[in-house]
Structures are given as C-alpha cells and as structure tokens.
Chains A and B, each alone.
Chain A
Amino acid sequence: MSVPADSAPGAPEIGVETPFQRFRAEFFESWIAAFALGLLGLIVVLALLAPWITPQNPYDLGQVDVLDGKLPPGSRAYTGYTMWLGSDGAGRDLYSAILYGLRISISVGVASGVIALVIGSTIGLIAAYAGGRVETVVMRLVDLQLSFPAALIALMLVAVMGRGIDKIIIALVAAQWAYYARTVRASALVESAKEYVEAARCLGLGHARIVFRHILPNCMAPLIVVGTVQTAHAIALEATLSFLGVGLRQTEPSLGVLIANGFEYMMSGRYWISFFPGIALLLTIVSINLVGDQLRDVLNPRLKK
C-alpha cells in the first residue's frame, strides 16, 4: 500500500513498510526457511503437474505391466521409457507413482487440515467468547481428546469406518480439531479482553460479527503456525495409517501405501521401492515443518525486534 505523492500534508504518519512487506523480509532472513519454502513449492508444483510430466499413469491398469515389476533404478521399461527410480512389485514406475502419491498425500493433509482448522477454530472462538459453562464443557472435551495420541484416535476411527480418502479425512479431522480449538481459544481470550472488542460492543455490533470479523482475524498468527505444523502432521499420520494397511487402498497409492508395498522387498535388496517414496515423504514433511518453524518465529510477538 503505497502513498500517492500528492498527499504531502499530514502524510508522515503513514508507515513506509506494510506489515506484509516486513513479514516477508523477516521470513527470508533465514536461508534454511527460504530453501524449505522453495523445496515445498517445487514439491507442490511437481505434484500438481504429475499427469503431464510423468511417463505413466500408475492408476491406469492398461499402462502398468507386471513384467516391469521390481526393476532397479535406471532400467528400461517394456514400453520404452527409462524408470529412473525403478519400479514396484506391480510394475508401476516409481517416479510416476511418487508424484501421484504426493498428490494424494498432500491433498489429504491439506483438506483435513483446513476442515479441522475451520471446525476447531469455530469451536474455540465460541468457547472463548461465550465463557462460563459452554467454555468449560468444550475445553474439558478438548483436554480429554488431547490426552489420547492422535494416531490412536485416527486408527480407531478408520478401523470402524473402513478405508478410503473420505474416511481418512474424517479420521484426521477428528484427531486434530482439538489442537486448533485450544490454540484459538487461548488467543481469543486475550483478544476479547482488548478494548477494541469493548468498542465494537459499544457500537452495537452483533455477537457473530464481533467474533468472526473482529476477534478471529487477530487470532490468525498462531492459527497459521499451528495449521502449517498440523498439516505436516496430518500427512505423516495418513502415511502411518496407510503403512499399517488401514488407510488408503492399493489402487490409489499414497506415499504411505508405496512404502508399505516395498517394505516386504527391503530384505531382498530391492531398497528403492520403499526408499524413494520415503525420501519424498521426508522432504515434504521436513520442508513444511521448517516453514512452520520460521512462521512461528516471525509471527511470535515475544521475538519481535
């Protein structure tokens, strides 16, 4: 937001730097964070472009040939292209499978993250604003849920509901909403005590308006940080469930399914079937976490310079 030159009188109080510019500058102060963001961007772009940059559609059984199975990295497939990362037991080109798997892993992680964020923060906001008995009941429920490991809750839910992307997302949302609720409630309590909320009440604004238009935007900083870290967590959780065989189906392999598929060949020297999907998963999660760490440092008011 720049100031037009003709606004000379009284203009000095307008800051030179917008908050976003300052935020961007502080974020890129750490080269690790910049690198992680670049890597994450690359991973997302590769995943998005998967159908156009891979030699094979691993979901299309017509393109997958069992005769291509378990080929080491660099082998030539019967259909002619080179399998740079080798192939798995079903004859899927691992490079293609990893990019398609990333699509699933990332979309499951992001979808469950966003849904859990919306549900969790709404509940947390209402608890903080309403106070009293509503707050007590909701927050004890959150405490109860957080006393169980997220993986255990997700595992139980998936065991009951069965496999499939929709069910995995429901299970991940159920396992994670409480983190958002607790975070938002904490900062909403701080924000509600501030005078601008009192001022908004003095203007006669409605409750919904005050909660969602005035308090929520001021709680965004911790929410963004928790959202980033929890998304990485959701991706890891989905991979865990799939690896354990209760997550996604074999026909739509996420990274976890690919790792599980290759696991049985590990001891026979065919490391690549598990190894490369594992590296992809690791890079994705580490880069998201590094970005989240830097966001936390930049957005933390206590560390403000």
Chain B
Amino acid sequence: MSVLEVAGLRTHFFTRAGVVKAVDGVDFTLQRGEVMGLVGESGSGKTVTGFSILGLVDPPGRIVGGSIRYRGEELVGAPDERLRELRGNRIAMIFQDPMMTLNPVLRIDTQMVEAIQAHERVPKKAAWERARDGLGQVGIPSPEERLRAYPHQLSGGMRQRVTIAIAFLNAPELIIADEPTTALDVTIQAQIIYQAQKVCRERGAAMIWITHDLAVVAGLADRICVMYAGRIVEAGPTDDVIDRPLHPYTVGLLGSVPSANKRGQRLNQIPGMTPNMLALPKGCAFRERCARAGDACLAEPGITEPAAGRALRCFHPHGIEVPA
C-alpha cells in the first residue's frame, strides 16, 4: 500500500484582496521508502502542499477540496486530535531555517525528550538515550554534550542535523523536508542531504523533499514533481525529467542552473516573473512566460501521460514539434 496518496488537493487562502489558490489540484502518490522531489519557484505552492498534509494550514487558508490519504486513512477533515497524533509521530517535518526552528531558550535534550514523550509513554531516561542515539545517527560528534547545549551554541549545520534527528525520533513513515538545505553553506548542504538520505534509507521512510534547486533533488530523489502556480506541471522519474524534460517550465528551470552554462556567457533565465497568484492568466498559468505558447494554451491543459510513469500538463511539450 502506498504511504501517501494526494488527489486533487486544493488549498486556498481567502484574503481581503481575493482568493489565492496556493494549491490548486495537486496529485501524487508516495510509496514506502520513496524520495520525491517537489520542485518549483517561490510561491508555487510547495510549502502549502506540505502544510496541508500535516493539517497545519492556518486561517485565512483552508483545504477546499481533494483528499490526502495516509495509509488509506483520509486526513482532510480528520479531527484535530488524530492529526496531532500523526504529526511528529508518523509524519514529521524538517524546516528551512535551523536558526529559527529550535526554541532558543530550551536545551536540545529538553526539546528532543519532549518530542518523544508527546507521543509515547517513555521514562525520561529512556527518551534521553533515544535522543542521544538519534543525534549519533545524523553524524553529530559527542552527542551527549550536544544534548546539554542550547541551540545558540551550535552551528547552522549542527542545528539542521538536530532538527533532522528530531524529525526521525519517532521513526515516522513520512518526512516532509521543506528546503532544509537552503539556509546552509554549500559544503554543509551535501552533508545534510547525505545524512537525511541515509537515515531515510535505513528506516524505510518516505520523504518529500521540497526545494527550488533541481541540482539538489537530482542526486537525491527517485521521482520529481515540478510545481508551477499551485499545480504539478510535470512529474516523472528523476533521470527522465532531468535528461528529457517535457514541460517548457522544467526546461527553463534546468537551463537556469549556472553550471550548465559556459563562462562569460549570459545565464539563461525564464522570462517574466512568478505570476500574481491573485490574477492568474486564463488557461495555462505559464502561458505568458512561455516561448512555445499558442492559441491552444488559452484553454487549461489537462494531465497527459506522454510516457510510462510520467505526467504532464502542456499542449506543446518539448521534443514534440509545435505546429506553426
């Protein structure tokens, strides 16, 4: 059975200026132990998708449609109590900025023991030992000392390791990692990705790795979903998507990675700006920035399956000639 099945998820924010359709029809399935990369620009709805799964969308936001099934259990509309049981226990989250996600006034051990005892009746000593082992598993040297430290005494990379250790404390089946390496040095990034991947494989946990950096997911994810303006515009196995991108947006994203260009050459960029979520263009949301757009794009593209295991929302995918 799949760990997570998201179908037609729509999360809207009812602001004074209008309705922001942050997530507007997202579908994906996650198998046990699978790592999925959720890629997109800022404001494309990646993070809101993650929060929707945890049931932590705050007003004025609301899940207005679709279903989220965790091991077959419907989470949309599930009682708060049940969601809280799952949160941090079966489904855990890792945040972007490790400087912000640890409480500055509580010691690491306090925060870790608390995370264990929130879901299980364990004596403090046992919980403490589990916290220590957890820190060891994410590659923190002398974990006993680190446990007695306050967050400000640890470096950014150390702190992110701690938050990863906290996420894995209760052996969750699903981890949602929201840009966990964005705030870190490049050298630390690779270490953190490696640790997260290692723990994930060891425990057989599924992971959703939310990022705007295709280079990061390329080496990490089994599958990639590319999001644009609240929708998944392209999905498929990582190698396929990276080597043979179909959607013009994915092509643009891959083209804008600096390393793909030669020295002295202008960097490729996707023209235009992230669309205003309050006034999305009619039809395909990417239409106005797309070189391949035509009249057909005024209608909304449906999901097609151009190849086995791949999904696409586009009338004029790359690799297929545009009729003049």
Find the B residue at minimum CB distance from A194: B100
B166 touches A (CB below 8 Å): yes
Interface residue stretch chosen among B31-39, B91-99, B212-220, B300-308: B91-99
Interface residues as binary, B284-296 with A (CB distance below 8 Å gives 1, 0 otherwise): 0000000000000
In whole angstroms, how far apart are the Cα atoms of A197 and B155 in the complex?
20
Which A residues are in CB contact (< 8 Å) with B5? none
Q: Please indicate which of the listed interface residues B86, B93, B148 has the most CB atoms of chain A within 10 Å of its own CB.
A: B93
Find the B residue at minimum CB distance from A200: B103
Count residues of chain B with CB under 8 A from any CB of chain A.
36
Q: Verify A203–B87 contact, CB threshold 8 A.
A: yes
Which B residues are in CB contact (< 8 Å) with A3? 145
List B residues 31-66 near A (Cβ within 8 Å): 54, 56
List B residues 107-129 near A (Cβ within 8 Å): 114-115, 118-119
In whole angstroms, how far apart are the Cα atoms of A302 and B148 in the complex?
29
Which A residues are in CB contact (< 8 Å) with B54? 202
Q: Verify B102–A196 contact, CB threshold 8 A.
A: yes
Which A residues are in CB contact (< 8 Å) with B152? 15, 19
Interface residues as binary, B162-177 with A (CB distance below 8 Å gives 1, 0 otherwise): 0100100000000000
Which A residues are in CB contact (< 8 Å) with B155? 13
Interface residues as binary, A178-192 with B (CB distance below 8 Å gives 1, 0 otherwise): 000000000000000
In whole angstroms, how far apart are the Cα atoms of A200 and B54 in the complex?
12
Question: Given A9-B141, A13-B154, is A203 in contact with B118 using a C-beta cutoff of 8 Å?
Answer: yes
Find the B residue at minimum CB distance from A3: B145
Question: Given A213-B106, A218-B105, is A204 in contact with B93 using a C-beta cutoff of 8 Å?
Answer: no
In whole angstroms, how far apart are the Cα atoms of A200 and B95 in the complex?
11
B268 touches A (CB below 8 Å): no
Which among B85, B100, B118, B141 is the interface contact of A196 at CB below 8 angstroms? B100
In whole angstroms, how far apart are the Cα atoms of A220 and B104 in the complex?
12
Q: Verify A198–B56 contact, CB threshold 8 A.
A: yes
In whole angstroms, how far apart are the Cα atoms of A198 and B47 in the complex?
13
Question: Given A15-B153, A218-B105, is A202 in contact with B56 using a C-beta cutoff of 8 Å?
Answer: yes
Which B residues are in CB contact (< 8 Å) with A19? 150, 152
B84 touches A (CB below 8 Å): yes
Count residues of chain A with CB under 8 A from any CB of chain B.
28
Which A residues are in CB contact (< 8 Å) with B100? 194-196
In whole angstroms, how far apart are the Cα atoms of A200 and B158 in the complex?
19
Question: Given A7-B145, A205-B114, is A214 in contact with B103 using a C-beta cutoff of 8 Å?
Answer: yes
A80 touches B (CB below 8 Å): no
Which among B85, B87, B119, B145 is the interface contact of A202 at CB below 8 angstroms? B87
Smallest CB separation, A7 vs chain B (Å): 6
Q: Verify B56–A201 contact, CB threshold 8 A.
A: yes
Q: Verify B103–A10 contact, CB threshold 8 A.
A: no
Which B residues are in CB contact (< 8 Å) with A1? 148-149
Q: Verify B118–A195 contact, CB threshold 8 A.
A: no
Which A residues are in CB contact (< 8 Å) with B160? none
Which A residues are in CB contact (< 8 Å) with B119? 204
Which B residues are in CB contact (< 8 Å) with A204? 84-89, 118-119
Question: Given A10-B142, A14-B153, A203-B118, is A198 in contact with B95 using a C-beta cutoff of 8 Å?
Answer: yes
In whole angstroms, how far apart are the Cα atoms of A4 and B93 in the complex?
33
Which B residues are in CB contact (< 8 Å) with A214? 103, 106
Question: Given A14-B153, A203-B87, A206-B118, is A218 in contact with B103 using a C-beta cutoff of 8 Å?
Answer: yes
Known: A196-B101, A204-B84. 4 other contacts (CB 8 A): A1-B148, A202-B93, A203-B114, A218-B104
Enumerate 22 A-B pairs (CB-CB under 8 Å) in ascending A order: A1-B149, A3-B145, A4-B145, A7-B145, A14-B149, A14-B154, A19-B150, A195-B95, A196-B100, A196-B102, A196-B104, A199-B95, A202-B95, A203-B115, A204-B85, A204-B86, A204-B88, A204-B119, A206-B84, A209-B114, A214-B103, A217-B103
